[in-house]
Amino acid sequence: MQLTNRLQKIADSIEINERVADIGTDHGYLPIYLYSEGISREIIISDVNKGPMEIALKNIEIHIGKGHNIKSRIGNGLEVIGDNEADTVVIAGMGGLLIQEILSKDIEKSRAIKKLILQPRNAQDKLRKWLTENGFKIIDEHLAEEGRYICEIIVATPGKSQSENNEIYYEIPKILIHKNDPLLKEFIKRKIKTEKAILMNTMNEDSLKAKKQSEYSEKRIHILEEVLKDVSKNK
Ligand SMILES: C[S@@+](CC[C@H](N)C(=O)[O-])C[C@H]1O[C@@H](n2cnc3c(N)ncnc32)[C@H](O)[C@@H]1O
């Protein structure tokens, strides 16, 4: 099974023989890969919806066959896994706030998981901030290009972490800066481009709301350009 860059980066964050739970598995490609590559043979797949689970089970049958022990469970978030049933929990391809909601629903259970691999589709900064303020430590970060998106993958463990002195680092994590991630400059440039487009739309409008938005965008562009400058010094 050939994974997309995004799912491959997630798979690469899983060590051999880790017991994995894939929450919101949908197509099941990640567990199929982990199982068939012999990375993990103890896998739980779950989805809150029956339709995606049926697709996952069909894909598993096509790619692995019948003689496997991948456990499938229908349910909401972490309610499908028992205590100490999985070393690593993957929650990928969902909104950042939904991921936060899933983790906070049973915070003790979440904090008991050795490793979380999270791939929020949006509100990534909010999720990072929530993690650091709620007993998790972000230990690694990855960027992966998928279609027209640069996806963000967060690896966290239970533990204490320091709050960021500047909110921008919840959006552009220092780990990615220190690692000099090859996609980082493009990631920041796209943010600047988006912010400039917003500024163009609001700068000639008279309303107070538009004025506030323009000021906010100008400030953000300045901060993002400063971070880009710093990142460019890395080489
Ligand atoms: C966009 S798919 C992502 C599939 C796969 N994880 C990936 O990253 O490619 C999101 C899946 O999460 C499931 N989902 C949404 N909320 C959920 C929840 N609270 N608990 C479990 N699964 C959920 C949806 O039914 C859907 O199949």
Q: Report the C-alpha dihedral over residues 201, 205, 209, 211, rounded to 10 degrees.
A: 90
88 & 201 share domain: no
Please work out whether the CB of residue 152 comes within 6 Å of at least one atom of ligand 1. no
190 & 112 share domain: no
159 & 189 share domain: no
Please work out whether the CB of residue 93 comes within 6 Å of at least one atom of ligand 1. yes
What pLDDT shows up at residue 234? 76
pLDDT tens, N- to C-terminus, the chain (235 residues)? 899 999 999 999 999 999 999 999 999 999 999 999 999 999 999 999 999 999 999 999 999 999 899 999 999 999 999 999 999 999 999 999 999 999 999 999 999 999 999 999 999 999 999 999 999 999 999 999 999 999 999 999 999 999 999 999 999 999 999 999 999 999 999 999 999 999 999 998 999 999 999 999 999 999 999 999 999 987 6
41 & 138 share domain: yes
Range of 135's domain?
5-164
Q: Does residue 173 sit within a domain? A: no
82 & 124 share domain: yes
Q: Which residues on neighbouring strands pair with residue 91, listed in sequence order? A: 23, 118
Residue of minimum CA distance from atom 4 in ligand 1: 26
Q: Cα–Cα–Cα angle for 169, 174, 177, nearest 5°? A: 120
Q: Does residue 160 sit within a domain? A: yes
Q: Does residue 178 sit within a domain? A: no
The CATH number assigned to the domain holding 34 equals 3.40.50.150
What pLDDT shows up at residue 197? 97
206 & 106 share domain: no
What pLDDT shows up at residue 235? 64
Q: Does residue 169 sit within a domain? A: no
Please work out whether the CB of residue 31 comes within 6 Å of at least one atom of ligand 1. no
Please work out whether the CB of residue 118 comes within 6 Å of at least one atom of ligand 1. no
Count of domains in the chain?
Answer: 2
- For the question of whether the overall pTM of this predicted structure is more than 0.95, the answer is yes
